[in-house]
Amino acid sequence: MSMTYGSAKIIRASADIGYDGINTVVFDLDGTIVRNGSWTTLFKEVGASDEHADLFRRYMAGEFESYMEWSDEACDVLRTKGLTKDLFYKVINGAPLTAGAEYVCKSIKLRGYKTGMITGGFEAMAQRIKNKFGMDFYAAACCDVRFNNDGSFMGWSLNECDYDGKAERLRALSKAYDFRPDMCAYVGDGEGDVAIMKEVALPIAFNPKTEKVRKAAKVIVESSDLRKIMKYFPPITIY
Say yes or no to pLDDT of 230 above 90.
yes
How many other CB atoms are found less than 10 A from the CB of residue 110? 9
Assess contact for 21 and 234: CB atoms under 8 A.
no
CATH number, position 114: 3.40.50.1000
* Single-letter code of the amino acid located at 137: F
Domain assignment present for residue 83? The answer is no
In a domain, residue 195? The reply is yes
Q: Is residue 149 part of a domain?
A: yes
1 pLDDT exceeds 80?
no
- Residue 10, pLDDT > 60, answer no
pLDDT of 16 over the 60 cut = no
pLDDT in the model for residue 231: 94
Q: Is residue 124 part of a domain?
A: yes
Specify the DSSP class assigned to residue 58: H
Name the residue range of residue 163's domain.
2-36+96-238
Alpha-carbon dihedral 102, 75, 194, 186, rounded to 10 degrees? -20
Residue 45 domain-assigned (yes or no): no
Structurally, the chain folds into a number of domains equal to 1
pLDDT value for 36: 83
Distance between CA 101 and CA 31 in Å, rounded? 11
d(CA 70, CA 48): 15
- For residue 237, what pLDDT band results from cuts at 50, 70 and 90? low
- What's the pTM value of the predicted model, to 2 decimals? 0.86
Interval 200-207 mean pLDDT: 97
In a domain, 147, yes or no: yes
> Is there a domain that residue 49 lies in?
no
Query: Within a domain: residue 218?
Result: yes
Mean pLDDT of 126-151: 90
